[in-house]
Amino acid sequence: MSLNLTGRVALVTGGSRGIGAAIALALGDAGAAVAVNYRQRADEAISVAAAVTAIGPKSVAVPADVSSAAAVATMFATVTEQLGSIDILVNNAGIAMIRGIDDLTEQDFDQTIAVNLKSAFLCTQAVLPHMRAQAWGRIVNISSGAARGAGGVGLHYNASKAGLEGLTRGYAARLVQHGITVNAVAPSLIETDMVRSGLATAPTRIPLGRFGTLEEVAQVVLMLIGNAYMTGQTVALSGGMSFN
């Protein structure tokens, strides 16, 4: 079944490249107007927004450091003015600084928690008034296989993604009666610059024999948006490396 999101407004944080860009394009292809958030890569975010607009729906690139409450408030005001109130939120923004236990600093830890976890809290709090008022909303958090496994980035990253899955379940339990679903997607080794540059140069550890694609992650996000009965769940994408 194809998903029709015509008339809906979506926000994808960290949408300038990689998984976020693929999700933004998939949402646009389904008919949603899409706000593409970015922090530094303005040209790339503008290019993604232009690609979404070329499909049909309106799209804008919106700068914000989503770990800052003030920046999130400004971003939401901009998106609401240009596209309308947000019906679909994809918390994808994240950083992955590869650190060993002895190299990890307090600053590294705090920044990772702020960008990977606190940002999801801030953005979710911002969308709730509208979603509650219309008794419909979809929130999808992009987690990682590192939330439940050792991972290759570091314990700070593990902690941030495990916290994100806890946040997912906490919101899901409290918002289900309002028609709002909250789920997570946990990719492991996906064909991204980050994976290729440091985590895995070849897919030798993956039973399926290849990296996952950006489009496969986006497919799961759209599945969660389209399913009104699924909430509080984390969908793993690991190519057979792990099972729930």
- Closest among 96, 100, 206 to 144, alpha carbons compared: 96
Mind telling me the catalytic residues? Answer: 157
* Residue range 56-112, pLDDT digits in tens: 899 999 999 999 999 999 999 999 999 999 999 999 999 999 999 999 999 999 999
Rounded to an integer, what is the distance from CA 153 to the centroid of its chain?
Answer: 18
CA distance 122 to 42: 22
Q: Which domains does the chain have, with CATH numbers?
A: 9-237 (3.40.50.720)
Which pTM value belongs to this model?
0.95
CA distance 29 to 95: 27
* Residue range 132-145, pLDDT digits in tens: 999 999 999 999 99
8-state DSSP, 213: P
3-state secondary structure of 60: strand
3-state secondary structure of 120: helix
In the predicted model, is pLDDT for residue 115 greater than 80?
A: yes
Mean pLDDT of 231-237: 96
